[in-house]
């Protein structure tokens, strides 16, 4: 297909061409936002490597009842309202990897932005939260922690 054929197609299908252009712009904007959001998204396998290496502070922002039903080994439960740079788990972790997670990933993303703004250097979020962890057939433990 050459340039003239592409222009002829766009002329014959203006709505389809507009939809394509709109989707392209939306994808580009989304990718640019991801580049500048300040925190990294981790897949379950990447988080497993960090946990096994003992390098990360893993914080689960789920409700206490949900945390007790199932959480990642070694994670600590902190309620989003209590998660501040002065929190005892974070007080010495400004240069350490901090991984935030919740049930779906949305609450963790909001908290990650706040920690980055507060000067934390290595903030990550488990992409998809506990749901993604379970979808990867990784284990959860029950109880308080």
145 residues of the chain, pLDDT tens digit each:
788 998 898 899 999 999 999 999 999 998 887 777 778 899 999 999 999 988 789 999 999 999 999 999 999 999 998 888 888 888 777 778 999 999 887 899 889 988 988 888 899 999 999 999 999 999 999 987 6
Helix (H) or strand (E) holding 32: helix 14-36
Q: Is the Cβ–Cβ distance between 111 and 117 less than 8 Å?
A: no
Task: Give me the pLDDT at residue 6, please.
Answer: 86
Both structure tokens of 76: 């600590």
Task: Give me the pLDDT at residue 145, please.
Answer: 60
**Reported pTM:** 0.75
Q: Please give the Cα distance from 134 to 28 (Å, whole number).
A: 30
Both structure tokens of 113: 């932005």
């Amino acid at each position: 297909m050459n340039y003239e054929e592409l222009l002829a197609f766009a002329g014959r299908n203006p709505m389809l061409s507009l939809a394509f252009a709109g989707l392209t712009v939306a994808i580009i904007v989304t990718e640019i936002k991801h580049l500048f959001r300040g925190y990294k998204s981790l897949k379950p396998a990447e988080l497993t490597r960090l946990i096994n290496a003992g390098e990360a502070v893993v914080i689960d922002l789920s409700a206490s009842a949900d945390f007790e039903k199932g959480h990642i080994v070694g994670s600590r439960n902190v309620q989003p309202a209590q998660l501040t740079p002065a929190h005892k788990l974070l007080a010495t972790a400004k240069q350490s990897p901090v991984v935030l997670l919740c049930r779906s990933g949305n609450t963790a993303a909001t908290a990650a932005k706040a920690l980055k703004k507060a000067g934390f250097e290595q903030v990550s979020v488990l992409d998809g939260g506990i749901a993604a962890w379970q979808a990867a057939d990784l284990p959860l433990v029950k109880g308080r922690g």
